[in-house]
Structure formats: structure tokens, C-alpha cells
Amino acid sequence: MLLAIDVGNTQTVHGVYEGEKLLHMWRTSTNKRETADELRLKVQPLLASEGIAPADLEGAVLASVVPALTLSWRSALGALMGREPVVCCADAAAGLFETTYGNPSEIGADRIADAVAARALYGAPVVVVDFGTATNLEVVDADGRFVGGIIAPGLETSASALFSHATKLPAIELTDPGSAIGRNTVHAMQAGIVYGEADRVDGFVRRIFDELGYEANVVATGGLATTMAPLCKTVTHVNSELTLDGLRLVYEAAVS
């Protein structure tokens, strides 16, 4: 079995694979101050809850966009399994990840994993929309090369900024209000935030299509994908496991 871990700014996603099949997936809060020992003691109960012992794991693969946690997770996984994890980056994904990016070393590990999985599962060209702390769009062109993308504030990030700066507006649940015209304050805010995000993503995608000169499959992933994808006219697929699938592919390429 393979343990795949995607460390985001807000959430950390853990997955266990048996071959190509994702057996279990958990989401936990990301705490940027956790030590290697604390991380090890966090992941062990998750595995144990499904009857998985560290000895059952043949390896691990890690993607982290939190530099303060990258080394801690490497140490935690090394202590847990007795060997270092594969760390996702442009070099580790060589052969699966071709790019025209100016400096591949600055591409986030999650962006690399998303692009690798999207090309493998949906072909090229393909665009990934990752709804997380940031809303990331990754663009793979018709030749299968990662050519770049867009990094924008995420849905919850934008909502938090509104709540903190407009003191009379309440914190709300980010769900579809059902109509663009809000009949009360909560619905008006939901329309502005949720529909605003959907239309912004559709606008981004159409700009990308214009620059490429052709259209492509658009895959939604991330913690808010199931909420946002039905509201986006340009999204053609939803895959909440896309990043983990990319990490699995990077691991397989690195150890083969």
C-alpha cells in the first residue's frame, strides 16, 4: 500500500492506495506549527482506524505547499516507515511533467500533481481548477506540456476578507442560494460570493481558451469542487481525488 499526503494551507489530505485504487481518504486541518512527532502521532490513528499498520505501507509520497511543514512531514514519515517519502516536485515528476515554465522549481507540488493526473486521466489539452485556499487553474496544452496557469484568492479566503472588513455582515455558509437576486442579506452575500466565484472561474477558463486558440476538458478538484463545479458552465469533470492520483503517479515514476 502507498500513503499519499497533500499538505495544503488550510487542509491536509491523506490517502491510502492499493495499486491504482484509493482505499481510504481523510482530510485534517493543517497546523503550520506541528512538529514531526506530532504529525506522526496524527497520521498513525488514521491508519489504525482502517486496520493499517506502518509495516503494511510500501512507501509514501508527499506534496506540500507549506515550507515550514515539508521537512517535518519528511521526518515524520521517515520515522513512521523507516524510509524517506518521495517528495513531489518538477524533477521527481520528470517524464510525466513537461513544462515551458520559466523556473520549474517554483511550481507548487500540488499544481504538478494536478497537471500530471489530469493529463493521464483526461488527455491533453486539459485545464484543472483546484478550489482550495487559493483557486488555482493549471493549463496543459495540446502537446501535453504544462504552460502555466492562474493563482487567485480562494472562495473561503475571499469570504473571510469580506467578513473581516464589513463588520455588519455575518459569517455565512458558502452554499448555492438558488437565485442571483438575494431576498435577504444572507442570500445576497451567498449570491455575491458563490456565484461570483463561479463566474470568475468561467471567465478565467474562457480567457485561457482564447489564448490557447482551442477548448479543452476542464477538471474541478479540491475541497470545494463538489460545491462549485455544478455552478461553473465550463467545468466538464469533477475529481476530488485528482491531486492524490497525481501523487501516486509521481511515486510510481520515481521508484520504477
The residues annotated as belonging to the active site are 110
**Residue 107 phi, psi (nearest 5):** -75, 130
- Beta strand pairing call for 134-140 and 11-18: unpaired
What's the CA gap between 40 and 198, in Å, rounded? 37
- Beta strand pairing call for 134-140 and 237-238: unpaired
Please, which residues have CB within 8 angstroms of residue 63's CB and are 6 or more apart in sequence?
Answer: 5, 6, 7, 87, 88, 109, 110, 112, 113, 243, 247
When mean pLDDT is compared across 44-48, 143-147, 170-174, 179-183, the lowest value belongs to 170-174
pLDDT at 175: 84
Q: Which residues of 142-155 are buried (b: 16+ CB within 10 A; e: fewer)?
A: eebbbbbbbebebb
| 194 DSSP 8-state letter | I
pTM, two decimals, is: 0.90
- The pLDDT tens digits of the residues spanning 15-40 come to 999 999 999 999 999 999 999 999 99
When mean pLDDT is compared across 131-140, 152-161, 232-241, the lowest value belongs to 152-161
Classify burial at 33, counting beta carbons within 10 Å of its beta carbon; exposed 0-12, middle 13-18, buried 19 or more: exposed
Domain annotation for the chain: domains and CATH numbers:
2-87 (3.30.420.40), 98-246 (3.30.420.40)
